[in-house]
Structure 1
């Protein structure tokens, strides 16, 4: 007999539809697990169906088998690994191959996802700014634009291009068949044959997954704007699928959002916008290509701000008062599918004076200084002293194989497997006899964990915790 107990710590997340029952003269709730083909249960991303919600049983399985361990020192914060785990659980079953799951846990992919979240955080603000300006300059109460407004728009467009440049840098590191990326390269180095069809489907799946990751990290808002821009970045305008919900921008708005390096040619010779950003890099922006690789030394405040925004771990973003979607927010503010749990948020009593996670304060665009682009050309850049190396905790074979067998595991629990709760775990601990570790073993284990977080090897010092560890070392 199937035993499923609901823990008190599990969010009471019920997903379904409400309808009016005329017989009972009251509202009637139908959960999604009773309506398998309901429209609200799935969301179509580039032709692939991802789960939008999960029922209570699926939620318990996810929390027991696949959620990140809370015993880590940043287990109470939302980081990129939490979002990737959720997307892996919600993606179609045919996506879960060993190659794809292993690819998603590579350091280069982690850096690409991080830069994409930063880029879309600022891109969505710019889209909102464009929509507001569109209303202000049209109609009977239209406002005239001054030279200062045009100068501000040009500066904001340059800022957005700089974040796009960071995404392009990380994307090109994946395209190069170096180090651990060689086994994912489409060209077989033994027989020298290219798996064109397989690489095409692999690229389509990765692109759909990236859309889901960014959408969830952005509080699940502006889905069609994210989908359209993600397809444009990696495909170009020629291959962006048509959709009625996609916004339509005027040529002036497109030049503001897409930057000064965007060029459209015949589709046979068209390059993606990410590659175009790297072909025409201004001299003053060259240090951006080294962000996260070596410590910047110079007088350019803009590059220093971008570096700080990029190298600070997601769990510590509140220390620099920066918002990257849901990254760095406490987990108790969110339910299992990483949607805001508004009752929990209300009890925190956020205000303008107390809002460390930028929940109460709305995202805003800081107005740049006049002629800031010209002033940056006069900044000085010095030779670097320190290199920064990111160390990502590897994912073992058992963890990847568990994701590949996801459908079988879910089916096992739904057909009679035991989902443990607080009571059943206590009963198991009472029946089992185990030897408690000695004090010296506990101390040794503690120093081993601390050694992984902060290592001292000669002149190199490991900083930053979690799955994103930055190591600063002196240049030889």
Structure 2
């Protein structure tokens, strides 16, 4: 992963530069001496992005460098944030796929909401997928009732609404609204489609997003996460993960499970006429609360409990998750429960549990004499199950006019963004220097 081991790649924010006095703001300002990095100037990866591998087994020396130079500074009572996930993924990613455009894109409020919505959807999708498999097995011994249909209909509507949250943020990104204008495929001047640049940037964003969601969900079910994210963004036809793995998963599940997991808003067009499931959810002919499309962007009053919870998932600071009883992957969980690379720190088995196995006969005699049953304590789940409140009808004439006041946006860490831009600049500087040395030797 790391072509060079020079400490220059891990410089602090205030190296390779100088300080000047800014008369306008009357304070010192740091000016970097490194070459200015242009967002359009980034190399294409030497391999297909679907084959890009992240280094998850980082050695102790690299971990300490990461903690010293790149990791967000934390304290004992700090919790895991989305920025922590981004930092780990960027550190373990091949530097060939990193670019200033990607770093800046990842540190925008819309992208922050997109990643949160994606984590929320995939977490609930995996939960409902397991639940539906369990319900299918139960049908061998139980009778299906009308209540079963109501429960599964709620699961279906929940997943459709969560997909709509992801679609809303993804549409803002690809339409290039406000701060996202430089990342539109037509460029800022809207004269010519930059298709190659667009495909590389968003394929990289997709690959980074999959890795972020996987780490957020405790590094479990990677193939399912990759399959579903590719499906909702690219359709089943262009699902590169499915083409690589050849699981044929969505065609093998029974129609009842397929209806719940995939919803009913599917466009079955051929090849290029097929619309992605995310866009299908936006234009689906079903009853939905119009305020759903403005959560996290427009400030609404009188939201239902369901919409309040969904908006908190998108906008609430991770430090408040525990107080609000929110579960969004490992976000909001104490940072001390994880190591530098966000692997859960497993508790060592206690002496009581080991001594139990060596004295089964004594315990058995004691239980027979007391006639009392003891229940062993089950370990607490790292990521609790999600519950989405019931859907309620939208009140008629709820507003005299459409709300135009914007909601306070999530603020990404400027310091972390600058750290990663400097990291990329240093890497390129070292790589260019090495290339020049090799060329001079051959002359």
> Is the structural similarity TM-score above 0.5?
yes
State the distance in 2 between where 1:130 and 1:98 align. 42
* 2:52 equivalent in structure 1: 48
Q: CA deviation at 1:166?
A: 0.9
2:347 to 343, 349, 354: 343
* 2:369 equivalent in structure 1: none
Bigger RCO (CA 8 Å, 6+ sep): 2
Contact 2:77 2:334 survives alignment (8 Å): no
- Alignment of 1:67 onto 2:71: yes
SS state at 1:342 partner:
coil
The change in CA–CA distance for 1:344 and 1:68 in structure 2 (over 3 A counts) is farther
Contact 1:152 1:367 survives alignment (8 Å): no
* 1:133 equivalent in structure 2: 135
Q: How does 1:187-226 map to 2 (within 5 A)?
A: 187-190=186-189, 192-226=191-225
* 1:453 equivalent in structure 2: none
* 1:401 equivalent in structure 2: 421
Q: CA deviation at 1:126?
A: 0.7
* 2:14 equivalent in structure 1: none
Q: CA deviation at 1:331?
A: 0.9
Q: CA deviation at 1:131?
A: 1.7
State the distance in 1 between where 2:169 and 2:207 align. 18
Bigger Cα displacement from structure 2, 315-324 vs 45-54: 45-54
* 1:181 equivalent in structure 2: 180
Q: How does 1:429-440 map to 2 (within 5 A)?
A: none
- Alignment of 1:363 onto 2:384: yes
Q: How does 1:287-366 map to 2 (within 5 A)?
A: 287-298=291-302, 300-343=304-347, 359-360=380-381, 363-364=384-385
The change in CA–CA distance for 1:95 and 1:185 in structure 2 (over 3 A counts) is same
* 2:362 equivalent in structure 1: none
The change in CA–CA distance for 1:400 and 1:363 in structure 2 (over 3 A counts) is closer
Q: How does 1:10-89 map to 2 (within 5 A)?
A: 46-70=50-74, 76-89=78-91
- Alignment of 1:103 onto 2:122: no
The change in CA–CA distance for 1:209 and 1:362 in structure 2 (over 3 A counts) is closer
Q: CA deviation at 1:316?
A: 1.2
Q: CA deviation at 1:189?
A: 4.5
State the Cα deviation string for residues 190-242 of structure 1 (Å, max 9, x = none).
Answer: 48222212221222111110000000000011111110000011100111133
Q: CA deviation at 1:365?
A: 5.8
Q: CA deviation at 1:400?
A: 3.6
Q: Aligned-residue CA RMSD in angstroms? A: 3.3
State the distance in 2 between where 1:308 and 1:186 align. 31
Name structure 2 gaps, 5 residues minimum.
8-47, 351-377, 432-443
How many residue pairs get aligned? The number is: 352
Bigger Cα displacement from structure 2, 159-168 vs 99-108: 99-108
The change in CA–CA distance for 1:315 and 1:263 in structure 2 (over 3 A counts) is same
State the distance in 1 between where 2:87 and 2:291 align. 33
* 2:257 equivalent in structure 1: 253
Q: CA deviation at 1:116?
A: 0.9
* 2:273 equivalent in structure 1: 269
Q: CA deviation at 1:338?
A: 0.5
Contact 1:236 1:273 survives alignment (8 Å): yes
SS state at 2:296 partner:
coil
Higher helix share: 2
Q: CA deviation at 1:410?
A: 10
State the Cα deviation string for residues 160-183 of structure 1 (Å, max 9, x = none).
Answer: 111111111111111122322111
Name structure 1 gaps, 5 residues minimum.
5-43, 347-354, 412-476
